[in-house]
Amino acid sequence: QVQLVESGGGVVQPGTSLRLSCAASGFTFSNYGMHWVRQAPGKGLEWVAVIWNDGGNKYYADSVKGRITISRDNSKNTLYLQVNSLRAEDTAVYYCSRDGGQSGYDYVFDYWGQGALVTVSS
């Protein structure tokens, strides 16, 4: 079965950097686009970034462009999110999610991980 497991969250100081990982299993990782979606405490979901299956095409939400980098290692079935110059407003649960296109669910998030909490605080 499809599993997505995030890691790398924690409490970090403003201005520092953090890299989140998402280990994927149960499907052919290299065939699927992958997203990061975040949710601030008590707030709604916010799409952050997408990387398509070969890693060559990446797109970001305007709100994070320039500070966030999405990447993947298809040999390790792992998705990454690098967040630089962390701010209080980056405090959120960060979910990795599979794009459903290869499964017939175009432009949707068909599987989600349990999320990694990032708290930006001094």
Partner 1 sequence: QSALTQPPSASGSPGQSVTISCTGTSSDFGGYNYVSWYQQHPGKAPKLMIYEVSKRPSGVPDRFSGSKSGNTASLTVSGLQAEDEADYFCNSYAGSNNWVFGGGTKLTVL
Q: Which of residues 12-71 bind partner 1 (CB under 8 A)?
A: 35, 37, 43-47, 50, 57, 59, 61
Alpha-carbon radius of gyration of the chain: 14
Q: Which of residues 87-116 bind partner 1 (CB under 8 A)?
A: 95, 100, 105-110, 112-115
Strand partners, 59: 50
Question: Residue 69 Cβ, how far from partner 1 at the closest point, in Å?
Answer: 15
Q: Identify which of residues 13 and 56 has a Cβ nearer to partner 1 in the complex.
A: 56
Q: Identify which of residues 18 and 115 has a Cβ nearer to partner 1 in the complex.
A: 115
The residues, ordered by sequence, that sit 6+ positions from 59 with a Cβ below 8 Å of its Cβ are 49, 50
Report how far residue 108's alpha carbon sits from residue 114's, in angstroms, rounded to the nearest whole number.
17
Q: Does 8 bind partner 1 (CB under 8 A)?
A: no
Report how far residue 68's alpha carbon sits from residue 47's, in angstroms, rounded to the nearest whole number.
12
